Amino acid sequence: QVQLVESGGGLVQPGGSLRLSCAASGFTLNYYGIGWFRQAPGKEREGVSCISASDGTTYYADSVKGRFTISRNNANYTVYLEMNSLKPEDTAVYYCAGLAMYGSSCPKRPIEYDYWGQGTQVTVSS
């Protein structure tokens, strides 16, 4: 059974950092692109970052570029999202999602992903 489980969310002050983890089970992570998405109350789910299966090519939304870093460790079936210089507007529930894929271009839209985690809350507030 394919499963994705996020962890690492919490309350942090503006300018602080958090590292989110997405633990995968039930499939071979090597063959899956992984995306991070977020959804704030009253807003649509938006793409934050993704990483391809084949060569680790990454993508970042303009709003997080230079502050967030996505990485993967296939050996321990985990994808990370390192978040620095956090802002109040980063407050949202963060989700990871997976899709079996080939090539270097990871999917950027939620509808393209087959598997989702349950989400982890990130709150940036003083």
Q: 101: pLDDT confidence band, cut at 50, 70 and 90? A: confident
Are 47 and 109 within 8 A, CB to CB? yes
Q: At residue 104, does pLDDT exceed 90? A: no
Are 101 and 52 within 8 A, CB to CB? yes
Residue 39 to residue 44: CA distance in whole angstroms: 6
* Average pLDDT value over all residues in the chain: 95
